[in-house]
Chain A
Amino acid sequence: MLAERLEEEWLADFEERKSTLARLRFGVGCAWATRVIAHEYLEPKVAAASANGAAVATSNYRGPDYSFVSRRMVAVLGIIGLHALIIYGFATGLMHNVFVKIVAPIMVVPTTPRVIDRPPPLPTDPAMQRQIPLIDSDLPRFEVENDAAPQAVADVQPTLTQPVDPVVPPPPAVHRVGGGPGKGFPNSSDFYPPAEIRARVEGTTGVNVCTDEHGRLTAAPTIVKSSGSAGLDQGALRLAKAGSGRYRASLEDGRPVSSCYSFQVTFNLRD
């Protein structure tokens, strides 16, 4: 009865609104009014007022159930229960057990130990072991005399310790190849001093250089044998400096190493 009345009443009021927005607002308001009216008219006091002769008959209206255990109340109780369950789980350690069951524990798998190939120990040569001779102590004995308070003087027996040289194995034989000017080394004619060319001076200069394993100079080259001409010697030094990086490094057992070596620079006039 009430629902039919409100429906007709609201439809009449709805028709009086022309704009879409006004009708939309009216419809939303009526939806809210439905919930409010249903909530109020299902209460016992309103039912009593209706039975007392009020104008509105509500006995036939049955809307949503707004009893104590409503859907909202169920949701709230569910959330509270879920929180209580989580707190209980943390408090009693159940969460840890569940976590361990869900997530597999980390397994440590032992692996076979890595075998490192070590060179065999060097053979010990009995001939290389030194025999340490015993030294007889002929040092004088000191005696201290004290008239005032004679005391027992202990004999001082100095002990001599002789440092023992560690057994140094002989260095193994190394196959060594000396270095020298390598591929791409500058030509001596490019460093022939013009003054010596005009004077037609020729000669050979011995130069000593120190290079690293890459053939680069590690120190300034020096003259080990003069040609007799200062100009040619200077030209040989400039040539040796210009050839840095072009030297062929010395080899020890096939490995390039840093070393010092000498070579000759010859200046000849080509007629």
Chain B
Amino acid sequence: MGKQDRSVRMSLQTLRTLEAFLENPTDELSGSDVQKRSGLASGTLYPILLRLESAGWFVSRWEAVDPASVGRPRRRLYRLTPSGLARASEVFASFGRGVLAT
């Protein structure tokens, strides 16, 4: 985790994205769900999702549905990894101590 975590820039938008997942860490959220919870614009949200996924905070998978049967494209579902959950918890805990973890 250590080397990957250093590539994540902990901005306010990144914190809001993590906060959306921390409401229920076991949930799998699509980009649209995260946008509804965080209120971020799509141009801001998706690069953050990819950045956190590349750093190992998230894992993603395609929704297990048949697009032809449901009549829409498959959604990409994101979920916090255990290491991502621990790191996100540390980040928010450090906010309580007044120190921003980077």
Contacts and interface: CB of A to CB of B under 8 A. Distances in A.
Contacts of B4: 49, 52, 54
A49 B7 contact: yes
Chain B interface size, under 10 / 10 to 19 / 20 to 34 / 35 or more: 20 to 34
Residue of B41, B46, B74 ringed by the most chain A CB atoms within 10 A: B46
A33 B54 contact: no
Given A13-B32, A54-B53, A33 B46 contact: yes
Interface string A184-216: 000000000000000000000000000000000
Given A28-B43, A33-B46, A49 B54 contact: yes
A55 B59 contact: yes
Interface in A43-67: 45-46, 49-50, 52, 54-56
Contact of A12 (B3, B7, B51, B73): B73
Interface stretch (A3-11, A140-148, A231-239, A247-255): A3-11
Interface string B15-48: 0000000000000001110010000011111110
Interface string B50-79: 110111100110010000000011111000
A49 B51 CA distance: 11
Nearest to B47: A36
Nearest to A15: B72
A166 interface: no
Given A49-B55, A54-B54, A56-B53, A26 B76 contact: no
A260 interface: no
Given A12-B73, A50-B54, A30 B7 contact: no
Chain A interface size, under 10 / 10 to 19 / 20 to 34 / 35 or more: 20 to 34
Contacts of B60: 55
- Interface secondary structure of A, over-half rule: helix
B35 to A, nearest CB: 8
A29 interface: yes
A55 B42 contact: no
A30 B76 CA distance: 15
A13 B42 contact: yes
Interface of A: 5-6, 8-13, 15-17, 25-26, 28-33, 36-37, 40-41, 45-46, 49-50, 52, 54-56
21 contacts: A9-B73, A12-B30, A12-B63, A13-B31, A13-B32, A13-B35, A29-B42, A29-B44, A29-B46, A30-B42, A30-B46, A31-B43, A32-B43, A33-B45, A36-B47, A40-B50, A41-B50, A46-B7, A50-B54, A54-B53, A54-B54
